[in-house]
Amino acid sequence: MTRVLSGVQPSGVLHLGNYLGAVRGWVTDQRSHEAFFCVVDLHSLTLDQDPRLLAGRTLDAAAGLLAAGLDPEDCTLFVQSHVAAHPRLAWLLECTATFGELRRMTQFKDKGGNSETVRAGLFTYPALMAADILLYDADRVPVGDDQRQHLELTRTVAARFNHRYGQTFVVPEAAVPDVAARVMDLQEPTRKMSKSVGSPLGTIDILDTPDDVARKVRKAVTDTEGQVRYDPVTKPGVSNLLDLLGAARCEDPIAVAARYGDYGSLKRDVVEALVELLQPLQERYAVLSADPYQIEQILAAGAARAATVADATLDRAMRATGFLVPPKGFAP
């Protein structure tokens, strides 16, 4: 069975971009693949994190994933920092990727790559992401459009390592959805929806109440043309709404556009579709979040399962690199 791996940062409960761009696909993938999904808490440290909030946000993210439909019977769900092989393999991959490759990453440049005070971890982040993927011999990595470049780098690094040290890693493929691969901010529709940047009005959280959703969609920036057409370049706001409606109703956004004349009726239907989409997630979240201990148990079992696979791959990579392998029973 082919393997799938993907991850999400613990920026709290998921936003609509995470859900439509990635997590909804994970729910399908878990049934047809051997699937590993992680909350990548180590990655979150590339930006400032309040130590009093990080653990709670990690649990919230896990609850969000379970509410979205991940099932611990069908997939392995774990927290990245619980599996020690991740930062260990990341070091080998930092020594495989080049400075020039990491410097060209657009996410690094966007998040302040020119600043002297930017964290070194933000620069080496793609090597840690490559480790997340390669440790599980993942064939397929379901992600939103913004992660394509990181996936390309992962492929380059895996192939280079294999070439240098002999066949060690599976070279993975990115799986990006056809619709809503890049959900845009409702207030600034030329920028992707994100919790770490942008105004709260621009981002829809999967736990937003129907009133919140209605307010945000009603205030979503469109344009003065007044005509519904799907054209992400000249009409980014309207096209984003069409993408949302298309994704929520599993329809092609161009076909959706043909049914609407004015922006008001489009917005009304976007609200209705999103409220309907989110309601079952919110009901499951309410049940799950009432029992954080159960989530911790799921994550602990997931980390144990993940570590078995990850440790074997790390061992293979360490041997291939030529490191002195410690005697059996040695626990570092």
Q: Which residues bind ligand TYM (CB under 6 A)?
A: 5-9, 17-18, 21-22, 40, 43, 129, 132-133, 141, 143-144, 146-147, 150, 181-183, 192-194
Name the token pair of 148.
């394509």
Measured from the CB atom, the residue of 61 and 257 that comes closer to ligand TYM is 61
Burial 79-97 (b: 16+ CB within 10 A, else e): bbbbbebbebbbebbbebb
Asked whether 8 and 65 are in contact (CB, 8 A), the reply is yes
Alpha helices in 219-291 (DSSP H): 236-249, 253-257, 263-289
- Give the start-end residues of each E strand in the chain: 3-8, 34-39, 75-79, 140-142, 173-175
**Active site positions, annotated:** 111, 192, 195
Asked whether 174 and 151 are in contact (CB, 8 A), the reply is yes
Name the token pair of 127.
């090597």
Shortest distance in whole angstroms from residue 250 CB to ligand TYM: 16
Measured from the CB atom, the residue of 49 and 227 that comes closer to ligand TYM is 49
Measured from the CB atom, the residue of 233 and 331 that comes closer to ligand TYM is 233
Shortest distance in whole angstroms from residue 322 CB to ligand TYM: 27
Q: How far is CA 76 from CA 1, 163, 169, 290, in A?
A: 15, 30, 20, 22
Measured from the CB atom, the residue of 82 and 322 that comes closer to ligand TYM is 82
Chain centre distance of CA 294: 23
Shortest distance in whole angstroms from residue 308 CB to ligand TYM: 19
Shortest distance in whole angstroms from residue 181 CB to ligand TYM: 6
Measured from the CB atom, the residue of 6 and 313 that comes closer to ligand TYM is 6
Angle at 222 between CA 180 and CA 196, to 5 degrees: 55
Shortest distance in whole angstroms from residue 326 CB to ligand TYM: 27
Shortest distance in whole angstroms from residue 2 CB to ligand TYM: 15
Helix (H) or strand (E) holding 214: helix 210-218
Backbone dihedral region for residue 184 (phi beyond 0: left; psi -120 to 50: alpha; all else: beta): beta
With H, G, I as helix, E, B as strand and everything else as coil, classify residue 274: helix
Shortest distance in whole angstroms from residue 91 CB to ligand TYM: 16
Measured from the CB atom, the residue of 146 and 269 that comes closer to ligand TYM is 146
- For residue 172, give every residue at least 6 positions away whose Cβ sits within 8 Å of its Cβ, in sequence order, or none: 5, 133, 134, 138, 139, 140, 141, 151, 154, 155, 158
Measured from the CB atom, the residue of 43 and 235 that comes closer to ligand TYM is 43
Of the candidates 4, 8, 7, the one whose C-alpha atom is nearest the C-alpha of residue 31 is 4
- For residue 108, give every residue at least 6 positions away whose Cβ sits within 8 Å of its Cβ, in sequence order, or none: 102, 122, 123, 125
3-state helix, strand, coil in the chain (%, to 5): 55, 10, 35
